[in-house]
Amino acid sequence: MPSLDSKNLNNSVVDVQSFAMNFGRKEVIKDLSFNVKRGEIFGFLGANGAGKTTTIRTLLGLYEPTRGTLLVNGERYNPNMSANIGYLPEERGLYRNEPVINTMVYFAVLHGLSESEAQKRAIAYLKRVGLADKANERLVKLSGGQQQKIQLGVTILHEPSLMILDEPTEALDPVNRALLMDIINERQAKGATVMLVTHRMDEVEQLCDRILLLKDGSVALYGKIDEVKEQFGSQIIALNYSGKLPVNDKLYKVTKRLPHHAELVWSGNINTDEVLHFLANQHDLHITTFEVRRPSLNDIFLELYKDQEGKNV
């Protein structure tokens, strides 16, 4: 990994170098180095227990690192930075018995807005996310998805230049997930840098410029999404079909099989035309789609964590 120099610091909002964290005798993070570039959406990924939350809490000064350097805009975190940072934590922390508008204004004022500006922005945000009629409701009366939209609003109302979002679309239906992803994109378009923690690989593929995948406190994969897919391995054939998919070890190996979908890796010097020709001539098989592609991020995530099958990932 590159060392921290003036060029890196000018181009990066987050710089983590040689970071390690021990809790007692347990080593949670092992020599972790990465950066988040100014203006990008960066996916920070991994199963539960991989070290994501520990890294973020240390970056924001909640933990002291065992060793290493974690910088925001070239400096160790200090409370004066809070006006430029929006953090949506894993554990939500709103006042559930307070009215929505009061809660949003309160946190916006803490981040440096005047009360009148906070009120104006809160009302505009509630209209944007379809909750204008809930402004005077107590948070406890809102659904989980509605509370999540308020939590994101609290995080971004002061228009931070760095947003650290831990599972921002949790508890949302597909329509509201798309809405919040649009809001994240809009904030990036206005110059914000986003560090996104999520288990939803489809969101990562749609939003992120680069990713880091943690496993057991170490870097498993790091870089642009296309680069990560190349690091991981060869292309696959994704096949949708009806009927019976035959076995042919000379041509391909079936790596995933569902009732109407399969993924194949072709053998040796065989080319994909030979595989398609063979399958197209099977009388009891009807192919609806035949696609050659790199593994998806979801494929990669599952493959990396397949030894943890049955555990909470």
CA atoms within 13 A on the CB side of 77: 22
- Fold classification of 6-229 is Rossmann fold (3.40.50)
Asked if 301 contacts 213 with a C-beta cutoff of 8 angstroms, the reply is yes
Residue with tokens 């190349």: 230
pLDDT tens digits, 111-162:
999 999 999 999 999 999 999 999 999 999 999 889 999 999 999 999 999 9
Provide the pLDDT for residue 57: 94
Q: Which of 165, 164, 161 is nearest to 192 (CA)?
A: 161
279-300 average pLDDT score: 90
Exposed, middle or buried: residue 249 (CB in 10 Å: 0-12, 13-18, 19+)? exposed
Ranges of each domain in the chain: 6-229, 234-293
Residue with tokens 């990036």: 188
Residue 133 has φ and ψ, to the nearest 5°, of -80, -5
Query: From CA 86, how far away is CA 109, in angstroms rounded?
Result: 13
Task: Tell me how far CA of residue 75 lies from CA of 16, 57, 311, in angstroms.
Answer: 11, 15, 38
Length of the chain: 313
12-40 average pLDDT score: 95
pLDDT tens digits, 85-124:
999 987 767 788 999 999 999 999 999 999 999 999 999 9
Asked if 214 contacts 191 with a C-beta cutoff of 8 angstroms, the reply is no
The mean predicted confidence, pLDDT, of the chain is: 89
How sure is the predictor about 305, in pLDDT bands with cuts at 50, 70 and 90? confident
Provide the pLDDT for residue 269: 82
Exposed, middle or buried: residue 52 (CB in 10 Å: 0-12, 13-18, 19+)? buried
Residue 309 has φ and ψ, to the nearest 5°, of -55, 135
Provide the pLDDT for residue 294: 85
pLDDT tens digits, 240-286:
999 999 989 899 999 889 999 999 988 878 889 999 999 999 989 99
- Model confidence pTM above 0.75: yes
Asked if 286 contacts 295 with a C-beta cutoff of 8 angstroms, the reply is no
How sure is the predictor about 308, in pLDDT bands with cuts at 50, 70 and 90? low
- DSSP labels for 7-39? HHHHHEEEEEEEEEEEETTEEEEEEEEEEEETT
Query: From CA 283, how far away is CA 244, in angstroms rounded?
Result: 9
